[in-house]
A and B are shown apart, each in its own frame.
Chain A
Amino acid sequence: MTTLRLKTWPAVPLEAEAITPDRFVGKTSAEIEALPVHHGNQEAALGDFFAVSGDGTPDIAIEGDLARVKLIGAGMTQGQITVHGDAGMHLGAAMSGGRIGVHGNAGDWAGAEMRGGQIYIRGNAGHGLGGAYRGSPQGMNRGLIVVAGSAGNEVGSAMRRGVIVVGGNTGDFTGAFMIAGSILVFGNLGERAGAGMKRGSIITYQTPKLLPTFRYACTYRPVFLRLLLRELRSLGQEIAEEWFERRYRRYCGDLTAFGKGEILAWEGP
């Protein structure tokens, strides 16, 4: 286990893509402290802000308020990061493997354009969770993101594969321009969920406000959803028994796009 303890709170955001198991493996704590970070527009070393203990194992624990530390675990392919506190923007962005756990909140763009791996956030997440950066044709493509709290706008935008679970509410444009994949929201969906979606599933447990370009199809018990819920339960997610038993209303959309997507709304107890 490599432990990083924040000792100097950065006055402006710290760009710390160096904090990944890939960069730590095989390094001594002194070498890890020497890894480069950007503090605003100044180059700095990781050791200027963090006390590092333990040698470079693929298992990293970080302590302190990291709300201003960006890019933790960005691009990681293996290992594990546990953040005991809040994490800044771009957490796990473009990661392709491994696991990140955050005990507090995460900033915007957590898991943006990720290609695999898992992110668990106990608090809330910001905007663009698992989404596509501006202009990109694809957001998240494989992997799992679980947020216990709520998330901001554009959750899973242009998502291509994978699963996003939000325990609380999501902001506007959840699953906008989705290409495929699944987004489960246990709280309220914001405005314009699924706008422009081609395929994929958005599953909600509250009555959704639908765009006029979504059309009611049928009410049924989707088999894939039972499998998915069981899987999530086995991963430790709290899943109510009645979510298995009751039926879901299926709305197809977005008819302005390909129209093969769906919003599945739980019928209620």
Chain B
Amino acid sequence: MFWQQVVNAIWLGAVYSLFALGYTLIFGVLGILNLAHPSLYMWGAFIGLVCVTTLHLPIWLALPVAMLGSGILGILLDRIAFKPLRARHAPHLATLISSIGASIVLVNIAQGIFGAEVSRFPFDIFPVHVFNFGGVSVTLLQLTILGISLVIMVALRWLIMGTRQGQAMRAVAYNTVTAARLGIPVDQIIMQTFFIAGALAGAAGVLLGLAFNSISPFMGGPMNLKGLTVIVLGGLGNIEGAVIGGFILAFSEVMSVAYLSSDLRDAVSFVLLLIILLVRPNGLLGHSSTKRA
């Protein structure tokens, strides 16, 4: 029983991390909380679904297409909701409100197109295969989700720490003026950051959509608080922190559902968020890693 929960927490944690990485990346580079991030997650899931049901693409192709789509949505989100405010040096509150507005618009458009009811992937979309390890069962889907999430996370870390683009991104995160003096096209870097964040959210959307086989315009709702909890746990803007935070949240959720009550799933994030804000407001790992390398 216990080890079964551990296994469940691991793959769920990997997807939470994936989701939260985009959230924290935007915070690290731009210092803004993008509350429309969960809507990109939802859109990623729908794009994946449309790829499979309408375009009859295989799921391994639907995932990258969904990432591309939600990445482009991320760029549009920036151009429409954030860039005009940035140009006017608007206060953070304005940006926050703008992101809530954008989120409402994105949810409503999805509701208009796909309807309010829950949509599902076709059942034969992914081979059902269960592995048994001494009483602990893992599905091929769960292993695949875990694998894909880890690969994306490693790739992201390499991008940020090991490439010229990543250096430029961290320079922009640290000081846009200095970055511009060095010839770094700040606006372009911000665009890339939104693309990457959107793509990460989209990947998480497809993977969780597959795992729970339930996609709806409102699936982003609970992710808002979860994402926030994860990135506050890890320290706002902290890449490694978001990964650790994702696993902590998944473990807490899975364990409290298993041993306390299934009503608690969404309350767990709230409790964790409260505790961390009281005890370690800078997060477990302290400060922003996009800013502090």
Is B a genuine binding partner of A?
A: no
- Chain A contacts to B: CB under 8 angstroms: none
